Amino acid sequence: MLRRLDPARLSWIIGFALVLGLVAGLTSALLLTVTGEPLVADAIAIEEARSGSAAIGHEGGAAEPELVSRSDQSGLGLFAALGLSGAAFGLLFALAFWGLRHGQPDPFRRSLVAGAILF
């Protein structure tokens, strides 16, 4: 039988905060993909153009091998990192919210204090 969803239980608070943190992290990754990645691609193109013109008159060492490709960084890596970061911050918020349950009985005020603690 399904247990009742009780916002006073720690497991419910943690689960809810993890899900909301994950959603917030994935939303921020989507926003960064749309708004930030074109600027990063332009910056990389400028940097490669400068390094290419500087290498013509300069004998440099061999280029280092790429450990993680740029497509992995901007795709799966961005979504995984921000999704996990959001879930981790959600967990920390849930623990702070739960820890303040006796000092701040009002849930809204408790959430403000928990957010201020994490900030």
| Domain-wise residue ranges, the chain | 14-55+69-118
Q: Using one digit for the tens of pLDDT, what is the confidence trace for 2-17? A: 456 566 788 888 999 9
Q: What is the pTM of this model?
A: 0.75
Tally Cβ neighbours within 10 Å of residue 70. 13
Q: What is the pLDDT of residue 105?
A: 80
Contact between residue 91 and residue 18 where contact means Cβ atoms under 8 Å apart: yes
Q: Please tell me the distance from the alpha carbon of residue 5 to that of residue 16, in angstroms, as a whole number.
A: 10
pLDDT digits (tens, 9 = 90+) for 46-71: 988 888 765 555 555 556 788 888 88
- Cα 45 to chain centroid, rounded: 26
What backbone phi and psi angles, to 5 degrees, belong to 104? -125, 95
